[in-house]
Amino acid sequence: MGKSFTIGCSIFATTGSFIYGYDSGLFKGIISTTLGQASFPAYFNNPSDNLTGAIVSTYSGGQGVGNLVGGYLGDKLGRKKTIWLAANLALVGAILQTAAVSISMFLVGRILAGFAVGLVYAISSIYNAEIAPPKIRGVLVGLQTQLISLGYATSNWIGTFGSFAKGDAAWRLPLGIQCVPAVILIIGLFWLPESPRWLIQEGKYEKAHAVIKKLHSDIDQGSDFVNREFDQIKRQIDYEREVTIKSFWALFSKASSRKRLMLGILLQVFLQTTGINVVNYYQTTLFKGVGIQGRNVLWLSCGYGMMGPIANVICLMYIDRVGRRLPLAWCSVGLVVNVTLLTIFSKEFAGSDNVVGQGFTIAWMFTFSFIFSLGYNAIQLVYIAEIFPMALRSRATAICAFIGTATGLLFNQLSPKAFNSIGWRYYIVFLICDAVAAACFFLIFPETKGKSLEEIAEIFGDQVAYSERVGVVGVKDIGGAAMGEVGATVVGKKRDDDHNGMAVHIER
Query: Which conformational region is residue 467 in: left (phi greater than 0), alpha (psi within -120 to 50 degrees), or beta?
Result: beta
Domains with residue ranges and CATH for the chain? 3-198+250-443 (1.20.1250.20)
pLDDT computed for residue 29 by the predictor: 52
pLDDT computed for residue 244 by the predictor: 64
pLDDT computed for residue 136 by the predictor: 86
Beta-carbon count within 10 A of 87 CB = 24
Which distant-in-sequence residues (6+ apart) come within 8 Å of 366 by Cβ? 303, 304, 307
Give me the helix-helix angle, 179-188 and 169-177, nearest 10°: 20
Cα separation, 159 vs 33, whole angstroms:
6
pLDDT computed for residue 207 by the predictor: 93
**Angle, vertex CA 242, rays to CA 237 and CA 246, nearest 5:** 95
DSSP calls for 426-461: GHHHHHHHHHHHHHHHHHTPPP-TT--TTGGGGGGT
Q: Are 61 and 114 in contact (CB under 8 A)?
A: yes
Cα separation, 335 vs 438, whole angstroms:
9
SS3 of 104-141: HHHHHHHHHHHHHHHHHHHHHHHHHHHHCCHHHHHHHH
Size (the chain), residues? 508
- H-run or E-run covering 501: strand 501-505
Beta-carbon count within 10 A of 41 CB = 16
Each residue of 277-310: b (16+ CB within 10 Å) or e?
bbbbbbbbbbbebbbbeeeebbebbbebbbbbbe
Each residue of 407-428: b (16+ CB within 10 Å) or e?
bbbebbbebbebbeeeebebbe
Q: Are 39 and 168 in contact (CB under 8 A)?
A: yes
pLDDT computed for residue 489 by the predictor: 33
pLDDT computed for residue 478 by the predictor: 35
Phi, psi angle pair for 131, to nearest 5°: -105, -5
Query: pLDDT truncated to tens, each residue of the chain (508 aa)?
Result: 557 888 888 888 888 788 888 877 765 555 555 544 567 777 777 777 677 667 767 887 888 899 889 888 998 999 999 999 999 999 999 999 889 988 889 889 989 988 998 888 878 888 988 888 888 888 888 888 888 889 888 888 887 777 677 778 777 888 888 898 889 888 888 888 999 999 999 999 999 999 988 887 766 555 577 888 888 888 888 887 776 666 778 888 888 899 999 999 999 999 999 988 777 666 666 666 656 666 777 788 788 889 889 999 999 999 999 999 999 999 999 999 998 998 888 787 766 677 777 778 888 888 998 999 998 988 998 999 899 988 888 889 999 999 988 888 788 777 777 877 887 788 898 999 999 999 999 999 999 998 888 888 888 888 776 544 433 333 333 333 333 333 333 333 343 433 333 333 333 3
Task: State whether residue 290 is helix, strand or coil.
Answer: coil
Cα separation, 329 vs 318, whole angstroms:
15
SS3 of 325-390: HHHHHHHHHHHHHHHHHHHHHHHHHCCCCCHHHHHHHHHHHHHHHHHHHHHHHHHHHHHHHHHCCH
- Long-range Cβ contacts of 107-112 (<8 Å, 24+ apart): 107/54, 107/55, 107/58, 110/26, 110/55, 110/58, 110/59, 110/62, 111/58, 111/59, 111/61, 111/62, 112/62
CA distances 218 to 4, 199, 472, Å, are 9, 22, 19
pLDDT computed for residue 356 by the predictor: 79
**Closest by Cα among 230, 236, 234, 205 to 216:** 230
Beta-carbon count within 10 A of 108 CB = 18
The residue type of 140 is L
- H-run or E-run covering 471: none
DSSP calls for 83-111: HHHHHHHHHHHHHHHHT-SSHHHHHHHHH
Phi, psi angle pair for 452, to nearest 5°: -70, 160
Helices (H) and strands (E) in the chain, counts: 21, 2
> Facing residues of 494 across strands?
503
Beta-strand pair 501-505/492-496: antiparallel
Which distant-in-sequence residues (6+ apart) come within 8 Å of 133 by Cβ? 3, 6, 216
